[in-house]
Structure 1
Amino acid sequence: MASCALSSLLSRSSSSIYRLTPSIDTMKASIRLRQLLQDDGVIVAPGVYDGISARLALEAGFSALYMSGASTTASMLGQPDLALATQNDFVQNATMITGLSPGTPLICDADTGFGGPVMVARTVTAYARAGVAALHIEDQVQAKRCGHLLGKQIAPLPEFIARIRAAVAARAKISDGDIVLIARTDAAQGLGMDEALKRLKMAVEAGADVAFLEGVRSREEVVRTVKELAPTPVLLNVVHGGSTPDFTVEDARSLGVKIVTVPAVHGIRAALESLKASGSDVPTAGGMGPKAFFQVMGLDEAIEIDREAGGGSFSELY
């Protein structure tokens, strides 16, 4: 049955990713992600934070998406990544994004799990119910900050491992619980690589599926992380202007990284700066008029649903 579901997923037309009503035979996203982790190649997950960014990433054909805490906080609250957004904010945003294409894996930031082991368990359960394919839990203190800012405070090792164990236990209690658990450490900045890798190894021993060293500062650190964590897959978060060098996907592949996440906000900023400087959005608009934009947002299916129901409200849109 799983192979039939995979064939169905891979044979869908490109337009099907924009469907308003997902097909019932769509493969579960977490299973799809686990298969991608077993396949050759790098999983590239662009940062998405709302309906528009998610739809555009799907249109571009990415096999996975990434929702960070920074982008969620910025898009929903207009605030910096300083532990201001709540678990409900994260889950609400994730639920909207997964609903656009349930078969496309969404990897989500879960910050510290939003509290102690009980809250971590609730977070895992809520994300799983929302259709999230994977989540990462970090080892900062509750009053956390973006991983590419200075002054991060790191929780004691036993507290971090308790978070991972709580996540693993919560997953085990979910029917068909196969959400991918990613252990993230921010310890390299203040405590050094030895401590950071020790934390990741212990997290994997506790049941984490993927290792994530945030704020990687050099190629050498990536190589060491991949080597010492093998065969556990490693995630690399490439943030332009942050702590991590501007690695390309090919760089990541050559270094043995399995998942690469990349923010998308830089492209939006560049387009707005171009508009401000030139007085026109033509250089960056790329020929996307209203019709093309709304088709990406699911217009054609909305028309189809209305027509099949006997309505005629949208028969002359274009």
Structure 2
Amino acid sequence: MFQKREEIDNNNINMTAVARLRELLAQEDKIVVCPGVYDGFTARIALSAGFDCLYMTGAGTTMSKLGMADLGIATLNDMRENAGMISSLDRRIPVIADADTGFGGPLMVGRTIEQYMQAGVAALHLEDQVVNKRCGHLSNKEIVDEETYITRIRAAVNARAQTHGDIVIIARTDALQSLGYEAAVSRLKKAIAIGADVAFLEGFTSVEEGRRVCAELAPTPVLLNMVAGGVTPNFTVAEAKEAGFRIIIYAAFALGPVFGAVSAAAKELKETGDLKAADLDGKRPRDIFTVCGLNEAIAFDVAAGGKLYAKGV
């Protein structure tokens, strides 16, 4: 945002975010690393670090927008609005967004696809939990039957075709916990056969299972959800790439650090009446604003003839 057209052309902005993501996925020797963000500030921080792709976490969106746990409470409007805002911050950078179950039957899944495409989202994942779902790393998830799940994926693929645009469709299954490995992978294979672009086996519990699913679904890219403290064993980026994964998302990338730092600051302020823990690590407020596009916004205003920021801020 607020970039000069010459700069945009030089940075290949004419390639859409979804085209960029497809280009990245076509590079078989590459793994796409996606930090999980949930609002404009965390997205700006990740963008400033230079990541090729971002992931909008549904859990983080639910907690930040609604102040509630990830129990299927966020609506299509909640998720699409947040995903669209994050996608708008830098149209060059693909955003993969959680779309839960598609928020209903085939018509609602189709509407979800259209809304996410209109919002500029590059990819989304759809899962096979019941509509009142829960975070994939919680226990006792309820799964819909295979036909219902495949109907969701087919509705997504059909809506994408009818909308005359593009979005990468990621088929996610949470069936491993209750139905076992073979049934879960069977669902992914059927989803791929009808047009899903990427497979996502949620909640696997061993390195061997991770390697196996990548091998069985090749050449289809497989996504790894790396949740610290979750049920899936830890993979470094290098280990995930070596195992065969093509995308790795860190859903709690921002949630953990924010929870820890803000909890510490709240405790300090409550107990001591002072706030040294929140001194911005020596940074000034302007430094934070700069991460969020301060200089670009001022330059844009000045170039248009605006006077408010002509002398700086």
TM over 0.5: yes
Residue 31 in 1 paired to residue 26 in 2? no
| Alignment partners' CA distance in 2, 1:235 and 1:106 | 14
What amino acid is aligned across from residue 269 of structure 1 in structure 2? F
Q: Does 1:268 align with 2:258?
A: yes
Deviations 1:201-249 (A, max 9, x none): 1110111000001112110110111011111100000111111122211
Structure-2 separation of matches of 1:286 and 1:204: 47
| SS class of match (1:300) | helix
Any unmatched runs of 5+ in structure 1?
1-7, 13-22
Q: Which residue of 2 aligns with 1:16?
A: none
Aligned counterparts of 1:11 and 1:292: Cα–Cα separation in 2: 27
- The reply to whether residue 77 of structure 1 matches residue 73 of structure 2 is no
1:71-118 C-alpha deviation (Å, 9 max, x unpaired):
111111010111111001111001111110112100011111000111
> Is it true that 1:105 corresponds to 2:94 in the alignment?
yes
Residue 181 of structure 2 is aligned to residue 193 of structure 1 = yes
Aligned mate of 2:284, from 284, 289, 299:
289
Q: Deviations over 1:23-46 (max 9, x none)?
A: 9x4321100000000112210011
Match of 1:208 in 2: 196
Cα distance in 2 for residues equivalent to 1:234 and 1:214: 11
Residues 1:143 and 2:132 aligned together: yes
**Counterpart residue number, 1:63:** 52
- Tell me the distance in 1 between the aligned counterparts of 2:216 and 2:56: 27
Name the aligned partner's letter for residue 298 of structure 2.
I
Aligned partner of residue 80 in structure 2, secondary structure: helix
CA RMSD of aligned residues (A): 2.0
The two structures have a TM-score, normalised by structure 2, of 0.90
- Report deviation, 1:178: 2.1
Separation (CA, whole Å) in 2 of partners of 1:9 and 1:208: 31
Gaps of 5+ in 2: 1-6
Give 1:232-251 correspondences, 5 Å limit. 232-251=220-239
CA–CA distance in structure 2, aligned partners of residues 313 and 63 of structure 1: 34
**Aligned partners of 1:106, 1:75: CA distance in 2, in Å?**
18
Residue type at the aligned position of 2:255 = V
Aligned length, in residue pairs: 299
Matched, 1:156 2:153: no
Give, as a single letter, the amino acid of the residue that structure 1 aligns with 2:256.
H
Counterpart-to-counterpart distance in 2, 1:200 and 1:110: 17
**Which of the residues 68, 72, 76 maps onto 1:87?**
76
Deviation, structure 1 residue 11: 5.0
Q: Which stretch of the first structure deviates more once superposed, 298-307 or 256-265? A: 298-307
Shift of 1:270: 2.9
Cα pair 1:165 1:207 within 8 Å, conserved: yes
